[in-house]
Structure 1
Amino acid sequence: MRLVQPSQRSKNTSLIRGAGIMRTNNLQVAKSVFEDLHLKLVLAGFGQVSQGWGRTEFVPTYNRLYYVVEGKCSIKAAGREFVASGGHLVVIPAGFPLSYRSIRGEKLVKFWCHFSAKIGHMQMFQMLEFPPYIEVLESEGNDLRDLFDRLLSAKQEAEDITALLKIHNCLSDLIIYLIERARPVRLNPVVTAAQRYRIHSYIEEHLAGPLSLEQLAAAFHYSPNYFIRYFKSIFHVSPHRYITQMRLEKGQWLLENSKWSVGKIADIIGMKPIPFAKMFKQATALTPTDYRRLHAGAQAERTDTMALRDTPAANRWQGAPCEHTQPSG
């Protein structure tokens, strides 16, 4: 089965099940939400991680999926701590504290991808609540491995004009699989797009300044204490965390799409160069300079998954050794 073919999705029942994301009374809300879904792949790979793999208490600016093929690892994400093992598809949302580590004596082989998923200007995983992982059914394993393989192959095709479409198709199929298998339990229709947009736009227009909580609350005629609660009810994170995430995301975009220096970019997003570089590396595992180099052109795109080239696609998921390039997922 080739999930990338839209015409086949309604005919297949192995990965695309049709369980439905929402109950009937929320169907129209769900449709309107997903019409505005935007996906972007940041990094992807496959391999066996080294002993000592791990990071502690950082806030990623992009979402992560880990499909564990073999072994175990310990993960704490969005306040939930668990052990992921073979056959688990782990869902790690952006914008929440994350810690992960290998387990002594345990081999860990996994597919992984980092990506953004936004509905308008909102993170999809702030609007939908997923379980920390999905237990992939044995009958679905080969199809899911094939889907990740095709994502990695498309990622290598930097000079192919269809590569971006292939990547988008693969990411879309992964999101479909997540939704139909996990049945996310919350869709927040109460807060209107206009309410979110006003606050988001104000922050965006004032990113270059200090943008204190008091200033933000006053702009919308609330006391600071009430505004924090109101803000969390809309965005599901604190104002400080949301502003920091917006600054880092804009910094990422400027690193990819401008030739300005890191210092100039830091100034544009309202940060000092050293704190910006430190927080950027905490969030992405790359320095701003390394991130720019990675996304500079076709050669850098091919380098992203260079370690995969020595292992035939048909054998990658069968446990063949393949060390991660940095960052290691």
Structure 2
Amino acid sequence: MDKEKQTFWRSYLSGLQLSVAVAAYTKVPPTWRDDDYVPDINKLYFIEDGEGYVAVGDERHYPKPGSLCLLPAERRQSYGTMGERTFSKYWCHFTAKLGGLHLFHALEAPVVVAIDDLPRMKALFDRLLDAHKSPDWTAGMHEQAALLEILAIFIEQARPASAVPADGAIQKMNAVLAYIETHLADNLTVEELAGLLHFHPNYFSRVFKRTTGLSPIQYVNRKRMDKARHQLAFSATSVSNIAFSLGMEPTYFSRMFKEHTGLAPSEYRDSFA
């Protein structure tokens, strides 16, 4: 992937929203099988032992021990056993979205990847399972952190091709995204951002959402919350000053932060203490 695309995808992926539905370790029974169904959630299998098959569309794969398998949401798929030596596997069902788009609709990734560092992957899945079962109030953050690292490894080793957006859109949107990044404290408007590309605001909004999965204002607010999370975690700056640095009144900032993270700013900061 060239430098321009890397710049775009780094900014794009920073807004990835994850949610784990279930995670476990299982020795599957001989009856483990389902054919030609379309789930609304992603599935991730890390195969430790055994044999079987997984399929997405018309492509069938036979993962070996040490493989990480991704069955993306809203794609026709199948799975099943091939004998008595069934899969022993870590597995996770999850959602991963960029705005309203499924992550693996935006990235064309293979179904099966052979993992280089097996002890690391096993340790990450152990962390994911421990966090998923934990009653601690910060367990969801640890759960997402483990899944994020697993997905990062999968994407790095898969080297997927970007399905969207097209190169021309990347070049244009890189300039807009960079402008947003350096003007988060300003009262950014759709008209101002559209003017950077000499687009009509309505057309700009359509192109922006098709490219990023978010409306311009949703994207600006997401980047503000990303910056706020970093400042709360790694600085002693007061909540009020963080809000002002982002061009927001403290009360409105706190309400928006809780909508985005589920935690008040002070609660989020305390989780890193």
Task: Please report the TM-score for the alignment, with normalisation by the length of structure 1.
Answer: 0.51
The within-5 A match list for 1:1-329 is: 22-137=1-116, 140-158=117-135, 160-190=136-166, 192-195=207-210
AA aligned to 1:182 is A
Evaluate the alpha carbon distance shift between residue 142 and residue 128 of structure 1 in structure 2; reply closer, same or farther with a 3 A threshold: same
Q: State how far apart, in whole Å, the 2-side matches of 1:56 and 1:29 are.
A: 37
SS of 1:161's equivalent in the other structure is coil
For 1:281, the equivalent position in structure 2 comes to none
AA aligned to 2:128 is L
SS of 1:148's equivalent in the other structure is helix
Higher relative contact order (CA 8 A, sep 6+): 1
Shift of 1:187: 4.2
Q: State how far apart, in whole Å, the 2-side matches of 1:168 and 1:94 are.
A: 18
Evaluate the alpha carbon distance shift between residue 181 and residue 199 of structure 1 in structure 2; reply closer, same or farther with a 3 A threshold: closer
For 1:296, the equivalent position in structure 2 comes to none
AA aligned to 2:137 is I
AA aligned to 1:153 is D
SS of 2:24's equivalent in the other structure is strand
Alpha carbons 2:99, 2:214 under 8 Å: kept: no
- Number of matched pairs: 176
Shift of 1:75: 1.2
Q: Which runs of 5+ in 1 are unaligned?
A: 1-21, 201-329
Q: State how far apart, in whole Å, the 1-side matches of 2:86 and 2:45 are.
A: 15
Q: State how far apart, in whole Å, the 2-side matches of 1:199 and 1:189 are.
A: 13
Evaluate the alpha carbon distance shift between residue 83 and residue 24 of structure 1 in structure 2; reply closer, same or farther with a 3 A threshold: same
AA aligned to 1:76 is A
Q: Which runs of 5+ in 2 are unaligned?
A: 170-206, 216-273
Q: State how far apart, in whole Å, the 2-side matches of 1:74 and 1:44 are.
A: 20
Evaluate the alpha carbon distance shift between residue 162 and residue 198 of structure 1 in structure 2; reply closer, same or farther with a 3 A threshold: closer
Alpha carbons 1:41, 1:114 under 8 Å: kept: yes
Q: State how far apart, in whole Å, the 2-side matches of 1:60 and 1:45 are.
A: 18
Q: State how far apart, in whole Å, the 1-side matches of 2:39 and 2:25 are.
A: 20
Greater mean alpha carbon deviation, residues 71-80 or residues 36-45: 71-80
Percentage of pairs with the same residue: 27
CA RMSD across the alignment: 2.1
Evaluate the alpha carbon distance shift between residue 65 and residue 199 of structure 1 in structure 2; reply closer, same or farther with a 3 A threshold: closer
Q: State how far apart, in whole Å, the 2-side matches of 1:110 and 1:31 are.
A: 31
Q: State how far apart, in whole Å, the 2-side matches of 1:146 and 1:28 are.
A: 30
Alpha carbons 1:78, 1:93 under 8 Å: kept: no
Evaluate the alpha carbon distance shift between residue 107 and residue 199 of structure 1 in structure 2; reply closer, same or farther with a 3 A threshold: closer
SS of 2:48's equivalent in the other structure is strand
Evaluate the alpha carbon distance shift between residue 141 and residue 35 of structure 1 in structure 2; reply closer, same or farther with a 3 A threshold: same
Q: State how far apart, in whole Å, the 1-side matches of 2:125 and 2:214 are.
A: 37
Q: State how far apart, in whole Å, the 1-side matches of 2:140 and 2:162 are.
A: 30
Task: Please report the TM-score for the alignment, with normalisation by the length of structure 2.
Answer: 0.61
Shift of 1:185: 1.4
Greater mean alpha carbon deviation, residues 115-124 or residues 30-39: 30-39
